[in-house]
Amino acid sequence: MEKSIQNAVLEQGMKYNSFYLYDEKTILEYTKRLKDSFEGVKFLYSVKNNPYINVVKTVFAQGFGADAASLNEVLLSEKLGLKEKEIYYSAPGKTENDIKGALGKAVITADSLNEIELINSAADEKGIIAQIGVRINPDFGFFGGKGTPSKFGIDEEQLFDNADKIKSFKNIKITGIHVHLHSQELNTELIKKYHNNMFGLVERVCNKLDVSLDFVNLGSGIGIPYAKYDKEADVKALGENIRKLCSIFKEKHENTQIFVETGRYAVGKSGYYACKVVDKKISCGKTFIILSSTLNGFIRPAIAHIIEKYAVDEFPAESEPFYTCKNAFGYIVLNNSDKTEKVTLCGSLCTSTDIIEEDIELKEMNIGDMLVMTNAGSYASVITPYQFASLPKAAQLMLMTDGSVINADE
Ligand SMILES: Cc1ncc(COP(=O)(O)O)c(C=O)c1O
């Protein structure tokens, strides 16, 4: 952890017991890596992974559009200056109100045949023809083989079987497709194969539905290393693969834009969760460090502990965004101690599941010391149950490149 981040944590620790700190420099570095690697691709930021205003603003300022998963995320993206054709609203289970609220503010991606009808009716009421995307559950799987049942999107075959019905709707025009099958993949070859399959799907859609597309949204998939043994996905190779696919594709589909969505690649590494040692005790020879908020501050390490301790499988399958892998988070003690000790890290909730690590060797800690957890930029604060025990909510802070620390959400 860089000195500038350590200093910011120590300074903010005088005001707050528990807080997230997002590092602007890291966000700029990761978004630049993507832009430099993928020529001619437009990135959409998956707002749901970290929706705090100054984080989102920073990512949008790098030229990213929005992957919005709710009407609120559409409205936030609009408020932050994005135009209709820069906001893509895709999620299962949109209500009539969601659709009416988003029409004219975002490109809506229908997640089911029912939604296509709902959008058609809402557009009819408004007297417009809505240009929409459809989310497809394709005939191929991310890891190879055939497609599988999914709550997301419309099965490819079902979409084609309904082509005539879809064409009969007067107030919608399908101008894009969206697929997302898997997150947090580090195997570059697998992601490449998925992208190759996606370009095949586009041809089938254009032929069967008799449409030309404004956009093809390849979804996400690009992971980040969490554990020390994780190896980064090769984003340059992914960009090069898409460039090659596009060199043929663009001959026939000159005006089709290619989108890639990402949440965690843009901001996952930028986040740190800091909490304070509020008590220390020894029970039956075991040293317990009680931290200000763990399960109710940054839930993922606590979930990982539960899964790894109680799951029947030796290596439980990853289950994003709640569980990634063993040793996914680093723990950094901020004090000058030169001694270490074996401790159990836990929070102050009245449940024995509020433990994040047992018998881990760390620098010796005392009451008042700050402990920092890494990899806390994505699906971290947003999935944490803050209501539990009505304890104070973790603050959302951002370290700017000029050294200042601002509220990340104002
Ligand atoms: C449809 C869709 N797009 C994009 C993402 C973003 O994934 P990630 O943050 O891993 O890039 C997700 C994550 O679940 C998703 O469901």
Structure confidence by residue, pLDDT tens digits, 176-200: 999 999 999 999 999 999 999 999 9
Residue nearest to ligand 1 atom 9, measured at CA: 263
Q: Is residue 273 part of a domain?
A: yes
- Check if 381 has its Cβ closer than 6 Å to any atom of ligand 1: no
pLDDT over 70 (residue 164)? yes
Among the candidates 262, 292, 323, a domain finishes at 262
In 3D, which of 219, 214, 204 has the Cα closest to residue 152?
A: 219
Q: Is residue 135 part of a domain?
A: yes
254 and 282, same domain (yes or no): no
In 3D, which of 289, 268, 277, 274 has the Cα closest to residue 356?
A: 289
249 and 356, same domain (yes or no): no
> What distance in angstroms lies between residue 91's CA and the mean position of ligand 1's atoms?
11
- Check if 217 has its Cβ closer than 6 Å to any atom of ligand 1: no
> What distance in angstroms lies between residue 199's CA and the mean position of ligand 1's atoms?
19
Q: Is residue 214 part of a domain?
A: yes
397 and 310, same domain (yes or no): yes
119 and 242, same domain (yes or no): yes
- Check if 67 has its Cβ closer than 6 Å to any atom of ligand 1: yes
Structure confidence by residue, pLDDT tens digits, 253-274: 999 999 999 999 999 999 999 9
- Check if 184 has its Cβ closer than 6 Å to any atom of ligand 1: yes
68 and 194, same domain (yes or no): yes
By mean pLDDT, which of 79-93, 231-245, 312-326 is the weakest? 312-326
Between 53-60 and 24-37, two packed helices, what is the crossing angle to 10 degrees? 30
Domain count across the chain: 2
240 and 288, same domain (yes or no): no
Q: Which residue out of 152, 261, 318, 320 has the highest number of ligand 1 atoms within 8 Å of its CB and is therefore the one to mutate?
A: 261
Q: Could you tell me the pTM of the whole model?
A: 0.97
Cα 52 to Cα 410: distance, rounded to the nearest angstrom: 8
> What distance in angstroms lies between residue 261's CA and the mean position of ligand 1's atoms?
7
341 and 252, same domain (yes or no): no
365 and 224, same domain (yes or no): no
CATH number of domain containing 356: 2.40.37.10
199 and 290, same domain (yes or no): no
Structure confidence by residue, pLDDT tens digits, 83-129: 999 999 999 999 999 999 999 999 999 999 999 999 999 999 999 99
- Check if 270 has its Cβ closer than 6 Å to any atom of ligand 1: no
Q: Is residue 29 part of a domain?
A: no
**How much is the average pLDDT of 388-409?**
96
Q: Is residue 200 part of a domain?
A: yes
> What distance in angstroms lies between residue 304's CA and the mean position of ligand 1's atoms?
20
> What distance in angstroms lies between residue 379's CA and the mean position of ligand 1's atoms?
10
The whole domain housing 318 covers: 269-407
Residue nearest to ligand 1 atom 5, measured at CA: 220
Among the candidates 230, 262, 294, a domain finishes at 262
pLDDT over 70 (residue 315)? no
Q: Is residue 337 part of a domain?
A: yes
Q: Which residue out of 43, 45, 46 has the highest number of ligand 1 atoms within 8 Å of its CB and is therefore the one to mutate?
A: 46
Among the candidates 262, 283, 302, a domain finishes at 262
* Whole-number pLDDT of residue 318: 75
pLDDT over 70 (residue 222)? yes
Q: Is residue 334 part of a domain?
A: yes
* Whole-number pLDDT of residue 128: 97
- Check if 296 has its Cβ closer than 6 Å to any atom of ligand 1: no
- Check if 264 has its Cβ closer than 6 Å to any atom of ligand 1: yes
pLDDT over 70 (residue 145)? yes
365 and 242, same domain (yes or no): no
Q: Is residue 240 part of a domain?
A: yes
184 and 248, same domain (yes or no): yes
294 and 226, same domain (yes or no): no
CATH number of domain containing 188: 3.20.20.10
- Check if 50 has its Cβ closer than 6 Å to any atom of ligand 1: no
Q: Which residue out of 44, 180, 324, 382 has the highest number of ligand 1 atoms within 8 Å of its CB and is therefore the one to mutate?
A: 180
